[in-house]
Each structure stands twice: as structure tokens, then as C-alpha cells.
Amino acid sequence: MANPDVQALDQRLSRVEKQNEQILKCVMKKKDQDSFFSLVEENKERGNWSGRFDFFLSCLGYAVGLGNVWRFPYLAYKNGGGAFFIPYCICLGIVGIPIFFMELSLGQYSSCGPVTCWKFAPLFTGIGYGMVAVSALVAIYYNMIIAWAIYYLFASFTSELPWETCIGKSWSTALCLDNVNITDEAGCASMNWSLNTTLGTCYDDNGILRGMFNETLAKENDIKRILPSQEYFDFVAIGQGKSGGIDDLGPVNWKLVLCYLAAFIFVVLTLSKSIKTSGKVVYFTATFPYVVLIILFVRGLTLEGSSAGIEFYITPDLSKLSDSQVWKDAAVQIFFSLSASWGGLIALSSYNRFHNDCLADAITVAFGNCLTSFFAGFVIFSYLGNLATTLDVPVGEVADSGPSLAFVVYPYAVTKIPPSPFWAIIFFLMLITLGVDSEFVLVETVTTSALDRFPTLRKYKFVTVVTICFTFFLLGLTLTTNGGNYMLTVMDDYSGGWNVLVIALLECISVGYVYGVRRFLDDIETMIGKSFCGPVSFPWFVAKWWWAICWCLLTPLAVTFVLIFSWATYEGYSDKRDKYPEWADALGWMMTMFVLVTIFVASLCVFIRTPGSFGERMKYLTTPTNEWGPALVKHRREAKKYVDKWDTSFEVDPHGKEALENEVSPNDINVEMYDKPGKENLAYVSDRM
């Protein structure tokens, strides 16, 4: 007969062994847990963000880019100042945020990048390839702008900024600001300069312009003084002044090549390991621009004429609202500003944990991005007002769009603020950090798509990132030539224009009508629950029908309007034929068509490879595959209760991963150490499962 004491001891030993096994599993899995946020990595195959804040900052950094500094402020004053905010906010509500939220939801629900997230309707797989094509094209030229900022950053480490004056500089022309004397006719005569009363100018014996006695008359004849920073930008930094146009690219500028290479090296070092690396880098790159903008704004308010610049920026012209061009600009700016339909948002959210509140993220990031644009306008125009006062010209004559605002107007403005090299360094550091966040995601979009399409490459991510960046670097070498800015302009105008609007329209059709908007809303509810926005807890059922109306009606109508209006008013470079011949328009259309053809060819290939008749193929390709849904079995089990009313054939474990459900999570057990009478330091484990 067995001894009861021995049996009790055996039972205790058996229990301790089982508990020790659980503790060992827990400790081993702690390696995958972030010590700061106490979050366990759910998807070991693809990885997750270390914490929600990593994702939030990455999204914010992706959305907030270089365009916030120059594009939005310029469009605002061009289209009615403060009145522009009305169409801008309307487009944000019915186009920007709905597309933003849709893409975050797609990526998070499926844990797939932009190429592989279309298993709910395989016919639309081409949309993902189109997104990758857009991101690739934009990544090539966007990194060139970062390279310019790196060039200027190095040039700023000096006691006197090289673009501060054009006196005695070999690169300056006769029209450079400091080389032109503003005088009167008597002043010209006293210098023995010949007068041209038709142009309001005077010249020396060699026929070189030396002064102006009537600036108004000179401007009417297109004779204007040029800022030293403009000539430095044209003849030294990028060499554009040495090129006759896009058909005269000229030699490669080796300094720009090195800066371009340095920008890609930084991207490789950041993305080569995992999203956890880039997730930590953005803690600096996404927040530093805000610190600099606040500092520069405070400094700008102290400058003479700053109030005039700000007044010019925000003064509303309500008559502009009747112009359809204003509404078109507002809608295009929303896509450009939020980087929607480029694939980056899907790539970023695919690394989220399944129950992340993506709706709160979408609203917060979208409004944060737009408020950043609005605030950046105050910063920029405070300095433009000062510059206009210095030059004694209207603010509208010193404000311009594109690179000239960031690399010409502002650099010259900081020369008037001592110590100018310090402010120049701060400004260009801000430009770099604004740019690299977006560049990280553009390259990550291409990388994630490649790794999802070919999972075996995940073991060689460093090689994959290096290969992609090196390819982009080679393709972008034309941008480092003297005429590279003309090529960059074409890429900027055509790479992310109409094709992005087409992608957005196809997204709405695929989700709203093919997959079914009500089923998609149920998928979102599976992730975020019955409420959203954390402690505020807005009920989901109140908001979800707004998104349904947007995705099925308002958003596609608005996008269609912008597309039709853009095509109807298209003029290309007809007014710039001296710099952009007709083949420049053709080159731009080739970039646009490259994306559109990629979309439809990829979908056509899927259609051809699918067996059956036409009707059978269409039915299969517009029906979710058995793989569609959450990546992990435990989340698919949660989704099934929603999916059953739409699709009873939904498989909880299509890949045979049920065994993974039995693994112990680090948060499943709680270890407590304490003393009990007669025993020393025993571990008591309580199972919380």
C-alpha cells in the first residue's frame, strides 16, 4: 500500500516541475518583450512595433514631410489665404482621413504589406503593386532633396554663410542683389553709366548692368534683382544655372553624388535590421522638427516686418472659394501631405498588434499633420515678412513654391539673423529630419512588399535593403547633374499625381463595393472593439456609418471630381518650353503610365493564372481567399464570430498553426517571491490563464 506522504510529495514535485516549465517558457519569451512598454511581440514571423508610440511617431513622421514647410504655406496664400482652410478641412474630412483610416485598418487586420493585403479580393492585387511603384519613384527623387539639405548643412559650418553676399563671388551675375545699385538718373550719370530709359536701367562701358533708377519699369521688362542665395543655389549647390533645361543635363556634380549616397546610407543603417530600429530613430527625427519650428517661430516674431508676412498668410479672400482650382489644390494637397495611397500606411500598420486602436491613430496623425502644415506657414511667413521689409518689396514677390522657398528664401533670411551660421545649421537639420522620416517609410514600403512576396528574403533583410537602396541610387544619378532639378520637377509632378488618385478610387471600390463595407466595418470592430479613442470611449456604432458613407459615396465622388477637373485643365509644360520640351511631358506621362500599367497588368496576370471560365474567375477573384483575415490563429478565432454571417467557410487555422495557441505568454503567469514560516524564499506561481 502506497504511503500517503510519499504520494503527496510526488504530487507536489510534479506540480513544481510543471510550474518550472511554465516559468522557463515565460523567461524565454521575455526576450521578445519590450522592457519599457511591457508588450509581447505577437507576430514573430514579421515582427511588431516595440510600442504603440513607435508606430504613432513613424506615421506622423511619414505624413509630416518637406512639403509641410513649403508646399502648404504657398498654396494657402495662393488660394485665398485663410479662406483656403475651408476647402482644405472639408477635403481632409471626406477624403484624407477616410483613406488614411482605410489603409491603416487594411494593414493592421491582415498583417500584410501593400502587395499581399488584397486577399479579400485578389482581382485588386495590382493596386498594391501600383503603390510600390509610386513609393519607389518618389523615394528616388525625395532623397535628392534630402541630399541638398545635407549639402547646405555642411556648407553652413563656417563663420560666414557662402550665400550671404554676392560681392566678390565668382559665381555671381550682374543681376545679383549686391551687384545692382538702386539709384536715380543723376546717380547713373555721375558714374558715367549709360542710361536706358526704356528699361529703367544703366550700364557701364562694357554693357554690363550696374544700376536701376526705375525698378518698376525694370520689373515690367522682366529685369529683377536676384538674391545671392538664389544664385548660390543655381550655380554652386545644384548647378541648375549652368543648364539650359532638361535636355541639357550636363555633368554629374560629385559633391551632390556624395550627399545623395550619404542619405541612402543613413536609410540603410536605419532599416537594415527591423522596424524596431527605425521605430527608435523616429523618436528623434519626428520630434526634432517641432522643437526647431517653435524656436524659429519665436525668433521670427521678433523680426521687423514679421506681422506683415503673417497677415499676408492668413488674410482670407472668400471670393477664391468660387474657383474650382482652389478645391482641386486642396484635395491634391491632402493626398500629398498625408502620403495616402502610396502604400506606406499599409506597410507601417502591418506591424501593429491586432487590437491597436487604429482609428484613434488615424484621426490623431491626420489632424497632427495638418496642424503642422498650418503652424509651419506662420513660421515661414514671419521670415518672409522680414525679407520683404528688407528688400522693400511686397510679400507676394518673395514668396514662391517648391525648393526656392526652402533653399533660397529662408537661407537668405537667416543671413540677417545673427549668428546666421547657427540658425542655418538648425534649419537644415530640421529639413533633413523632416525628410528622412518620409524616406524611411517609402523605402520600407518597397522592402516590406518584397519580403512579404518572397518570405525567404526575411533572413537577408540587410542585403535586401542595400540592394533596393543601391538600385534607387543608380536610377537617381541623373538628379545629381546640373539639370537634375528639371528632372526632379518632372518626377514630382507626375510620379505621385493622377496615379495616386486612381489608386484611391480603386481602393474605395474594392473595399466599399466588392468586399463589402459592412463586412469591413465588422473587421475593424474585431480589432478596436465597441469603442475607440481609449479613455474617452466613443461608441463605435455611432461613427462607423460615417466611414461607410465616405468610402462608398463622398470619397470616390470627390476623387473623381479632382481627376476629371485635372484632366480637363491639363496644360503640361506648355508655358515652359524653353526649359521643358514636349518630350518632358511625354517622360512624365511615362512615369504616370508606369504606375497605372503596373496596376492593371498585375491584376490581369492574376486573372490569367486563375483557372475556369470568365464568370468563375471573376467570382473567385472577387471573393476572399481562405487565407484572408488576421495572421494569428487566436485573432482569427475572434474574427470568426463576425465573419460567419458573411462567410461560413472562413477557416480559423488555414495554415495548421493551431499548436501555437498552446504556447505560454510572458503575461500569462505571475511570479511572487515571499517568505513563509518554516520555509525560505519559495516561489509561488499563480496561473492567470
Q: Is 438 annotated as a binding residue?
A: yes
Looking at the structure, tell me whether residues 645 and 529 fall in a common domain: no
Confidence of residue 210 (pLDDT cuts 50, 70, 90): confident
Looking at the structure, tell me whether residues 611 and 632 fall in a common domain: no
Looking at the structure, tell me whether residues 204 and 131 fall in a common domain: no
**Residue 668 covered by a domain:** no
Q: Write out the three cell numbers for 26.
A: 515565460
Average pLDDT over residues 384-394: 80
Looking at the structure, tell me whether residues 606 and 637 fall in a common domain: no
**Residue 239 covered by a domain:** no
**Residue 687 covered by a domain:** no
Coil, helix or strand at residue 245:
coil
For 393-407, give the DSSP string.
S-GGGT--STHHIII
With 70 as the cut, is the pLDDT of residue 5 above it?
A: no
Percent pLDDT > 70 in the chain is 86
**Residue 532 covered by a domain:** yes
CATH code of residue 508: 1.20.1740
Task: Using the 3D structure, point to which of 619, 640, 672 is the last residue of a domain.
Answer: 619
Could you tell me which residues come within 8 angstroms of residue 143 by beta carbon, excluding any fewer than 6 positions away? 260, 263, 264, 267, 435, 439, 472, 476
- The residues facing 671 across adjacent strands are 685
pLDDT at 22: 62
**Residue 55 covered by a domain:** yes
Could you tell me which residues come within 8 angstroms of residue 376 by beta carbon, excluding any fewer than 6 positions away? 68, 69, 72, 73, 293
Contact between residue 410 and residue 427 where contact means Cβ atoms under 8 Å apart: yes
pLDDT at 406: 80
Average pLDDT over residues 160-172: 89
Confidence of residue 422 (pLDDT cuts 50, 70, 90): very high
With 50 as the cut, is the pLDDT of residue 664 above it?
A: no
pLDDT digits (tens, 9 = 90+) for 454-469: 888 888 888 999 999 9
Average pLDDT over residues 132-145: 93
**Residue 7 covered by a domain:** no
Task: Using the 3D structure, point to which of 569, 597, 619 is the last residue of a domain.
Answer: 619
Most confident of 195-204, 263-272, 361-370, 509-518: 509-518
Looking at the structure, tell me whether residues 298 and 433 fall in a common domain: yes
With 80 as the cut, is the pLDDT of residue 20 above it?
A: no
Confidence of residue 17 (pLDDT cuts 50, 70, 90): low
With 80 as the cut, is the pLDDT of residue 676 above it?
A: no
Most confident of 30-44, 62-76, 347-361: 347-361
Q: Write out the three cell numbers for 88.
A: 482644405
Coil, helix or strand at residue 625:
coil
Q: Is 434 annotated as a binding residue?
A: yes
Domain that holds residue 328: 43-161+247-619
pLDDT digits (tens, 9 = 90+) for 398-421: 766 666 678 888 888 888 788 999
With 90 as the cut, is the pLDDT of residue 108 above it?
A: yes
Rg (CA), the chain: 30
Rounded Cα–Cα distance for residues 469 and 479 (Å): 15
pLDDT digits (tens, 9 = 90+) for 424-479: 999 999 899 888 888 988 998 899 888 888 888 888 888 999 999 999 999 999 99
Q: Which residue has the cell 503575461?
A: 667
pLDDT digits (tens, 9 = 90+) for 320-329: 888 777 887 8
Looking at the structure, tell me whether residues 630 and 509 fall in a common domain: no
Chain-wide mean pLDDT for the chain? 83
Looking at the structure, tell me whether residues 323 and 266 fall in a common domain: yes
pLDDT at 2: 57
pLDDT digits (tens, 9 = 90+) for 26-65: 554 544 444 334 456 676 777 777 777 788 888 888 888 8
The lowest-confidence range among 93-97, 127-131, 233-237, 495-499 is 495-499
pLDDT at 418: 85
Confidence of residue 109 (pLDDT cuts 50, 70, 90): very high
With 80 as the cut, is the pLDDT of residue 587 above it?
A: yes
**Residue 528 covered by a domain:** yes
Average pLDDT over residues 508-532: 90
Rounded Cα–Cα distance for residues 564 and 447 (Å): 33
Average pLDDT over residues 87-96: 90
With 80 as the cut, is the pLDDT of residue 557 above it?
A: yes
Confidence of residue 197 (pLDDT cuts 50, 70, 90): confident
Confidence of residue 6 (pLDDT cuts 50, 70, 90): low
Q: Which amino acid is at 551?
A: W
- The residues facing 209 across adjacent strands are 203
Rounded Cα–Cα distance for residues 687 and 689 (Å): 6
Confidence of residue 686 (pLDDT cuts 50, 70, 90): very low
Average pLDDT over residues 263-284: 76
pLDDT digits (tens, 9 = 90+) for 614-642: 999 999 999 999 889 898 888 888 888 88
Looking at the structure, tell me whether residues 407 and 501 fall in a common domain: yes
pLDDT at 10: 67
pLDDT at 390: 76
Residue predicted with more confidence, 223 or 19: 223
DSSP-derived letter for residue 664 is P
In terms of Cβ atoms closer than 10 Å to its own Cβ (0-12, 13-18, 19+), residue 261 is middle
Note the Cα 200 to chain centre separation in Å.
47
Confidence of residue 678 (pLDDT cuts 50, 70, 90): very low
Query: What total number of domains does the chain contain?
Result: 3
With 50 as the cut, is the pLDDT of residue 227 above it?
A: yes
pLDDT at 555: 94
pLDDT at 681: 42
**Residue 8 covered by a domain:** no
pLDDT at 510: 95
Residue predicted with more confidence, 5 or 120: 120
What's the whole-model pTM score? 0.83
Looking at the structure, tell me whether residues 348 and 456 fall in a common domain: yes
Rounded Cα–Cα distance for residues 13 and 212 (Å): 100
Q: Is 369 annotated as a binding residue?
A: yes
Looking at the structure, tell me whether residues 202 and 344 fall in a common domain: no
pLDDT at 33: 47
pLDDT at 573: 86
Looking at the structure, tell me whether residues 260 and 212 fall in a common domain: no
Looking at the structure, tell me whether residues 191 and 278 fall in a common domain: no
pLDDT digits (tens, 9 = 90+) for 609-620: 999 999 999 999
